[in-house]
Amino acid sequence: MRRFLTAAILAALAATPALAEDGAAMRAAADGFYGVYRALPHTGGLPDDAALAKYAPYLAPALEALLRKASSAEDRFAKLNKGAPPLVEGDLFTSLFEGATQVSVGNCTGNGRTGSCVVQLVHADPGQVAVQWTDTVQLVNTPSGWRVGDIAYGGSWDFGNKGTLSATLNEVIAFQ
C-alpha cells in the first residue's frame, strides 16, 4: 500500500509541470485569437476570407469549418434575398452586439485534451457607461497545439448573443 501511495504522489507531482505548460499554451492560444480580434475592425457579421485567414492559426479545424459553412450559407441567403439584412449582424465573437474594446484573458484550465479560459471583456465608448462581462473561450488540443474550439457567451442582457458561437453558426447553416 505504501508503494502505491508513493507512486501516486510521484505521478501527481510529475504531472503538475505538464498541466502548467498546458495552461500557458491554452492562454497563448486564447491571447493569439483575441490579438487578432483586437487588430481587426469590428464590422460585425461573419469574418470575410481575409479575416478568417488571420484567425485560422488559432482556430480548431471544426470551428474554422463551421465559420466557412456559415459564410457559404450567408452568401446563398444574400443571393436569394436581395436587399435583406444578413443572417449574422453584430459581433460574433463576443456576447455584445457592438463587440469589445478591451479584452483580458484570465485563468485557463483543462485536462490535456480540452480546456477553457475565462475572458473579461469591456465595451467602452467615450462619454458612455462601460459595459463589462465575461465570456469563456473553449479550447481543444489539436495536433498543431491548442486552438479555439468554441466561445460560450456570458453576457446577461436581453439582446446579446446567447449560448455558444458554434450553436449560432449551426443556426445560420441550417437556415433555409
Sheet-wide strand order for 131-142: 102-110, 114-123, 131-142, 145-152
Could you tell me which residues are beta bridge partners of residue 120?
A: 104, 134
**C-alpha to C-alpha distance for 85 and 78, rounded to whole angstroms:** 8
In the chain, domain spans: 17-174
Angle between helices 165-174 and 61-80 (to 10 degrees): 40
CATH of domain 17-174: 3.10.450
List the chain pLDDT tens, one digit each, 176 residues. 444 444 443 344 333 344 667 889 999 999 999 999 999 998 889 999 999 999 999 999 999 999 999 999 999 999 999 999 999 999 999 999 999 999 999 999 999 999 999 999 999 999 999 999 999 999 999 999 999 999 999 999 888 899 999 999 999 999 86
- Non-local CB neighbours of 90 within 8 Å, separated by 6+ positions: 44, 45, 96, 97, 98, 99, 161
Query: Are the CB atoms for 148 and 59 separated by under 8 Å?
Result: yes
User: What are 11's three cell numbers?
Assistant: 505521478
